[in-house]
Amino acid sequence: MKDREKMVEPMRKLLGELTTLEAQAHAASATWSAMAEKFNAMRESIVEKMTDEGVILGKCVGCETLLFEGDKGFRYSEGEMSCEACASTYQEMKEEAEASLAAGGPDDEFRESSERILKCCEEHVAAGGSLAEKWIWEL
Protein backbone atom coordinates (compact mmCIF):
# COMPACT_ATOMS: atom_id res chain seq x y z
CA MET A 1 0.00 0.00 0.00
CA LYS A 2 2.84 2.32 0.81
CA ASP A 3 4.46 1.81 -2.62
CA ARG A 4 1.20 2.63 -4.35
CA GLU A 5 0.86 5.86 -2.35
CA LYS A 6 4.29 6.90 -3.68
CA MET A 7 2.94 6.56 -7.24
CA VAL A 8 -0.03 8.89 -6.83
CA GLU A 9 1.75 12.26 -7.06
CA PRO A 10 4.10 11.32 -9.96
CA MET A 11 1.11 9.84 -11.85
CA ARG A 12 -1.02 12.95 -11.19
CA LYS A 13 1.86 15.10 -12.48
CA LEU A 14 2.50 12.95 -15.57
CA LEU A 15 -1.19 12.81 -16.56
CA GLY A 16 -1.50 16.57 -16.04
CA GLU A 17 1.50 17.15 -18.32
CA LEU A 18 -0.03 14.91 -20.99
CA THR A 19 -3.26 16.91 -20.83
CA THR A 20 -1.26 20.13 -21.30
CA LEU A 21 0.64 18.64 -24.26
CA GLU A 22 -2.60 17.48 -25.83
CA ALA A 23 -4.04 21.01 -25.55
CA GLN A 24 -0.87 22.46 -27.10
CA ALA A 25 -1.05 19.95 -29.97
CA HIS A 26 -4.68 20.96 -30.64
CA ALA A 27 -3.72 24.65 -30.69
CA ALA A 28 -0.78 24.00 -33.04
CA SER A 29 -2.98 21.92 -35.30
CA ALA A 30 -5.53 24.76 -35.54
CA THR A 31 -2.71 27.17 -36.42
CA TRP A 32 -1.44 24.85 -39.16
CA SER A 33 -4.95 24.41 -40.57
CA ALA A 34 -5.43 28.18 -40.71
CA MET A 35 -2.06 28.60 -42.44
CA ALA A 36 -2.89 25.85 -44.96
CA GLU A 37 -6.19 27.60 -45.77
CA LYS A 38 -4.36 30.90 -46.31
CA PHE A 39 -1.78 29.24 -48.61
CA ASN A 40 -4.58 27.58 -50.56
CA ALA A 41 -6.44 30.89 -50.93
CA MET A 42 -3.22 32.61 -52.08
CA ARG A 43 -2.57 29.85 -54.63
CA GLU A 44 -6.15 30.00 -55.95
CA SER A 45 -5.93 33.78 -56.26
CA ILE A 46 -2.65 33.59 -58.20
CA VAL A 47 -4.01 30.87 -60.50
CA GLU A 48 -7.13 32.97 -61.16
CA LYS A 49 -5.07 36.07 -61.96
CA MET A 50 -2.62 34.16 -64.18
CA THR A 51 -5.53 32.46 -65.96
CA ASP A 52 -7.09 35.87 -66.67
CA GLU A 53 -3.71 37.03 -68.02
CA GLY A 54 -3.49 33.93 -70.23
CA VAL A 55 -0.27 32.72 -68.59
CA ILE A 56 -2.07 29.68 -67.17
CA LEU A 57 -4.21 27.97 -69.80
CA GLY A 58 -6.03 25.51 -67.56
CA LYS A 59 -5.65 22.09 -65.99
CA CYS A 60 -4.87 18.73 -67.54
CA VAL A 61 -8.04 16.60 -67.81
CA GLY A 62 -6.01 13.56 -66.77
CA CYS A 63 -3.98 14.64 -63.75
CA GLU A 64 -5.16 18.21 -63.07
CA THR A 65 -1.64 19.62 -63.34
CA LEU A 66 -1.62 23.30 -64.30
CA LEU A 67 -0.80 24.00 -67.93
CA PHE A 68 1.11 27.18 -68.68
CA GLU A 69 1.42 29.08 -71.95
CA GLY A 70 4.06 27.30 -74.04
CA ASP A 71 3.80 23.96 -72.20
CA LYS A 72 3.57 20.94 -74.44
CA GLY A 73 0.28 19.11 -74.49
CA PHE A 74 -2.83 18.25 -76.46
CA ARG A 75 -5.94 20.40 -76.81
CA TYR A 76 -9.20 18.72 -77.75
CA SER A 77 -11.64 20.52 -80.03
CA GLU A 78 -13.95 21.05 -77.03
CA GLY A 79 -11.15 22.98 -75.32
CA GLU A 80 -10.03 20.39 -72.78
CA MET A 81 -6.28 19.83 -72.54
CA SER A 82 -3.89 17.03 -71.63
CA CYS A 83 -0.37 17.52 -70.30
CA GLU A 84 2.56 15.87 -72.09
CA ALA A 85 2.57 12.93 -69.66
CA CYS A 86 -1.17 12.26 -70.04
CA ALA A 87 -1.37 12.92 -73.80
CA SER A 88 -1.94 9.97 -76.14
CA THR A 89 0.54 8.81 -78.74
CA TYR A 90 -0.32 8.97 -82.43
CA GLN A 91 -0.66 5.18 -82.29
CA GLU A 92 -3.23 5.35 -79.48
CA MET A 93 -5.20 8.07 -81.30
CA LYS A 94 -5.05 6.06 -84.52
CA GLU A 95 -6.32 2.90 -82.84
CA GLU A 96 -9.12 4.82 -81.14
CA ALA A 97 -10.18 6.44 -84.43
CA GLU A 98 -10.07 3.10 -86.25
CA ALA A 99 -12.15 1.46 -83.53
CA SER A 100 -14.68 4.31 -83.71
CA LEU A 101 -14.97 3.98 -87.47
CA ALA A 102 -15.31 0.19 -87.23
CA ALA A 103 -18.03 0.55 -84.59
CA GLY A 104 -19.88 3.10 -86.73
CA GLY A 105 -20.12 6.61 -85.37
CA PRO A 106 -23.42 8.09 -84.24
CA ASP A 107 -23.17 10.99 -86.70
CA ASP A 108 -21.20 12.43 -89.63
CA GLU A 109 -19.29 14.87 -87.45
CA PHE A 110 -18.01 11.97 -85.35
CA ARG A 111 -16.89 10.04 -88.46
CA GLU A 112 -15.23 13.12 -89.95
CA SER A 113 -13.34 13.65 -86.72
CA SER A 114 -12.03 10.05 -86.77
CA GLU A 115 -11.05 10.36 -90.45
CA ARG A 116 -9.28 13.65 -89.70
CA ILE A 117 -7.30 11.93 -86.92
CA LEU A 118 -6.23 9.11 -89.27
CA LYS A 119 -5.19 11.69 -91.90
CA CYS A 120 -3.10 13.57 -89.31
CA CYS A 121 -1.39 10.28 -88.32
CA GLU A 122 -0.56 9.57 -91.98
CA GLU A 123 0.82 13.10 -92.42
CA HIS A 124 2.87 12.80 -89.24
CA VAL A 125 4.50 9.57 -90.47
CA ALA A 126 4.95 10.98 -94.00
CA ALA A 127 6.81 13.93 -92.46
CA GLY A 128 9.24 11.51 -90.78
CA GLY A 129 7.45 11.21 -87.44
CA SER A 130 6.74 8.04 -85.50
CA LEU A 131 3.36 6.76 -84.28
CA ALA A 132 5.05 6.00 -80.94
CA GLU A 133 5.47 9.74 -80.33
CA LYS A 134 3.08 11.69 -78.12
CA TRP A 135 0.59 13.75 -80.10
CA ILE A 136 1.52 17.09 -78.53
CA TRP A 137 2.46 20.63 -79.46
CA GLU A 138 3.15 23.92 -77.73
CA LEU A 139 -0.12 24.99 -76.17
Which residues contribute to the site for Zn ion (CB under 5 A)? 60, 62-63, 83, 86
Question: Which CB atom, from 87 or from 117, has the smaller least distance to Zn ion?
Answer: 87
Question: Which CB atom, from 21 or from 63, has the smaller least distance to Zn ion?
Answer: 63
Tell me the closest approach of the beta carbon of residue 89 to Zn ion, in angstroms.
14
Count of Cβ atoms closer than 10 Å to residue 9 Cβ:
9
CA 101/CA 95 separation, integer angstroms: 10
Tell me the closest approach of the beta carbon of residue 114 to Zn ion, in angstroms.
23
Question: Which CB atom, from 83 or from 117, has the smaller least distance to Zn ion?
Answer: 83
CB crowding 26-35: b at 16 or more within 10 Å, else e: eeeeeeeeee
Tell me the closest approach of the beta carbon of residue 27 to Zn ion, in angstroms.
39
CA 75/CA 60 separation, integer angstroms: 9
